[in-house]
Amino acid sequence: MTVRIVTLPGDGVGPEVTNQALAVLLTAAEEGGLDIAVEEFRIGGRAVDETGTPLPQETLDACRNADAVLLGAVGGPQWDHLVGDQRCESGLLQLRAGLGVFANLRPVRVHPNLADRSALRQEVVSGVDLVVVRELTGGAYFGRPKERTDQRAVDTTVYTRPEIERVARVAFRLAAGRRGRLTSVDKANVLATGQLWRATVSELAAEFPGVALEHALVDSFAMRLMQRPGDIDVVVTENLFGDILSDE
């Protein structure tokens, strides 16, 4: 059996890190007796320069037909003038939507030999092992219609119950196989989408009696993530919050 992998090196440091990751992957495959076929396609700024779009149709088609996709990075200062669907980041959004990759798993683990190198105190970060499950195909990044003039801009945040249910189930199952704790992060005290998020996740909890569910507001949770990261097991949250919190 041959495993087909599409690589999307993209821009900036993307080709360099993709080449190194691919070298490790091919070595591991050889050791394990796995046959891998690799094809490279364009995305981001390079794709804009060469095809006029950040995600050519041939790239999306190749990704849909592949067993796995290895992505580097997109964008750079030379493409910052682009707007709308021409922006390099738009290629990422289109790729996520086109492949239906709605759950982004972002693990955070501190290596014992590096605990003293953190900006946080060693006793705060030692032993940290958490996962952020970020919803990836909804929210403000995908809300339509978008609007922008010189004086006004509009982004819409939209979530449906099925979108929340499917990513929450991923998080519940992940927590069930770890330490059995799930934190759902929202802004239910202000946002209607946050209220729907909290209600939907709460209803799903009955399907996973072995998982202890708690809810947290995104602003206070951002502080808690810095103060007591070792207390956190699995986090599930919407697209924008997940982007920010996992970077934190």
> Is 243 one of the catalytic residues?
yes
To the nearest 10 degrees (0 to 180), the angle between helices 57-65 and 88-99 is 40
Contacts of 203 (CB under 8 A, 6+ apart): none
> Is 247 one of the catalytic residues?
yes
- Closest C-alpha to 236, from 184, 176, 196: 184
Residue among 80, 116, 219, 231 flagged as catalytic: 219
How many residues comprise the chain? 248
> Is 141 one of the catalytic residues?
yes
Using CA of residue 156, residue 82, residue 94, residue 21, what is the dihedral sign?
A: negative
Amino acid 80 reads D
User: Which two tokens mark 201?
Assistant: 């996740």
- Closest C-alpha to 104, from 248, 240, 9: 240
User: Which two tokens mark 183?
Assistant: 């934190």
> Is 159 one of the catalytic residues?
no
Residue among 11, 141, 186, 233 flagged as catalytic: 141
Residue among 11, 159, 186, 187 flagged as catalytic: 187
Q: Coil, helix or strand for 184?
A: strand
- Distance CA(74)–CA(176), nearest Å, equals 35
- Distance CA(237)–CA(216), nearest Å, equals 10
Residues labelled catalytic: 141, 187, 219, 243, 247
